[in-house]
Amino acid sequence: MNKLNRRDFGVAVVAALLLPATSARADDMEIHIDNFVFQPPELKIKVGTTVTWTNRDDIPHTVVSAGKFRSKTLDTDDKFSFTFTNAGDYKYFCSLHPHMTGMIKVE
Amino acid sequence: MSGHDHGDDGVSRRKVLECMTWAGTGVLWTVTGGVPRSLGIIDSAQAATAATPGMTFLQISDSHVGFDKPANPNALGTLEEAVNKINAMPAKPSFMIHTGDITHLSKAAEFDNAERIISQTKLDVHYVPGEHDFIDEEVKLYRERYGRGTKGAGWYSFDAGGVHFIGLVNVVDLKAGGLGNLGAEQLAWLEDDLRGKSKSTPVVLFAHIPLWTVYPEWGWGTEDGGRALEYVKGFGSVTVLNGHIHQVMQKVEGNVTFHTARSTAFPQPAPGAAPSPGPMKVEDARLRSMLGVASVNFKQNEQRLAIIDTPLQG
């Protein structure tokens, strides 16, 4: 499992380097948590988009944006979804491992 | 404490010594002449305990009851092994401290199982919470069980064997991008708690996340830990005991000894040695060989810490 995670992590890093700005589209979007990292760490979406986070680590994480949204504790393979109905920048982090941060830009 | 003159910081500050070993069961501490010395884990500690008078206490950490992932499918089982080792010791420790992450997911059954096993030591256990102990929906299970008589999120102090023990909580109100956090209220309490204490009183600070910065890239440190250390600066003997990083690390700065204990559940990688600090899967045979023993010996007027790592197996 760890090996898979590490490989995925590598792939995700490459993808993030190739596509620094994920193009905005109306489709629902997914963010994976692998190796204590939100991937992609920054996402640009359109208003009305639903973003789903999936924890693929062996350790629980949370997804928290102060005053905006807060997931329950996500154990391995648990998911959390949030629909962004207002434009703006949404910084978020894992309240258990606060060095894990991410950003959703809604336009 | 006669003849125990540390002089000013610049003179007594020693070269930083860091030592790392892998997962084990618990760290046995003894206090002789008011100075805590780690005797290492269980087996190697037994002989030393018999020969060393003074108060002895035990530290266990990061039992993660409920964890069942590949790095250790039976974390409850390895906690029980640790407890069996403790019970087999010829010299009974005075009490035990648990430096947090008792459970993996703060489920009632996990707390119950942990209590069922740990209580078999028949020792008083002084707990501080880890971040894994505060993730139930209402954040109440830890406090219901261990919060009695504590302040704030669960901090407190007590005296034993002439040593002043202070249990701190650095796993709540964590800020985005930051590290562990004590917070203004707890720091004010700490300053007040230490006020009026004789500077010759040995002080033991214990908390889950290291109070010193081990590796900020993985969140291994406490944002305002330096403030807490300011308050104990004038004391002749200060020992800081933490968990969270599932490996032994030690640092000595002046009269302050920093030490992290092993987990009873699973090892974590050395700082930066893996893509993340998550549970480290090793071959089954190797896991047991990594359930090691580390003794740390701290004697007055000696410049060097003696650290002995003895694996339980292999």
Q: Which residues of chain A have pLDDT under 70?
A: 1-26
Q: Which B positions 30-49 lie with beta carbon below 8 A of chain A?
A: none
- Residue B256 three-state SS: strand
Tell me which of B106, B107, B246, B276 to substitute to probe the interface with A (most A C-beta atoms closer than 10 Å).
B276
Residue B1 lies in a domain: no
Region for B303 from its dihedrals, namely left if φ exceeds 0, alpha if ψ lies in -120 to 50, beta otherwise: alpha
Count of the separate structural domains present in chain B: 1
ipTM above 0.90, yes or no: no
Residue A82: partners with Cβ closer than 8 Å, 6 or more residues away: A50, A51, A63, A69
Domains of chain A listed by start with CATH number: 2-106 (2.60.40.420)
What are the residue ranges of helices labelled H in chain B? Answer: 9-12, 43-51, 75-87, 108-118, 141-146, 184-194, 225-231, 284-290
Burial class (CB in 10 A: 0-12, 13-18, 19+), B300: middle
Beta bridge partners of A33: A38, A55
In whole angstroms, give the CA distance from residue B222 to residue B226: 8
Residue B3 included in any domain: no
Residue B71: which of A36, A58, A95 has the nearest Cβ? A58
Q: Say what the pLDDT of residue B230 is.
A: 96
What is the reported pLDDT for B27? 65
Residue B36 has what pLDDT? 63
pLDDT for B57 equals: 83
Report which DSSP code applies to B161. T
* B32 within some domain: yes
Torsion, Cα B182 B162 B57 B151, to 10 degrees, reads -30
CB contact under 8 A, B177 and A98: yes
* CATH assignment of the domain containing B304: 3.60.21.10
Residue B4 located in a structural domain: no
- Please list the ranges in chain B whose pLDDT falls under 50: 1-25, 41-53, 292-312, 314
B73 is a domain residue:
yes
Token pair belonging to B150: 């504590």
pTM for this entry: 0.81
Q: B166 is in which domain, residue-wise?
A: 9-311
